[in-house]
Amino acid sequence: MITKADALQSLRPGAEWVLRENELEWLDSIQTEPTEEEIQAKIAELTAAEPMRKLRQQRNQLLQQSDWRMVSDYPGSNQSEWQTYRQALRDITTQTPSLDSTGQLTGITWPTPPND
């Protein structure tokens, strides 16, 4: 769930402020305090972007876990299958993810990694 604090950090990076029970106390003398409308708009924007952010995060982890299979001295005979799998992971952002009530990704068909 995207919070008011997330919105504030995104709107005014590095600004000084305190949030107590959703009440904002602006402490920064350099950056101007965002309006409540700006904060709510940023929360909506971040909430809409959250499924794709999570999709990319999970996709990047899967790519990182299979990076070692792309080295020239990979011992397996199925490197081309791994290349195909990794390309499918890169292409996964063409799908439209959503989040369920617990914040987990749904609506994604993940490619199956090759057998070793």
Stated pTM of the model: 0.83
Confidence of residue 74 (pLDDT cuts 50, 70, 90): confident
pLDDT at 41 over 90: yes
pLDDT at 43 over 80: yes
Structural contact between residues 89 and 63, judged by C-beta atoms closer than 8 angstroms: yes
Domain boundaries, the chain: 4-106
Q: What are phi and psi of 86, to 5 degrees?
A: -65, -35
pLDDT value, residue 76: 83
Which whole number is the average pLDDT over 12-26? 95
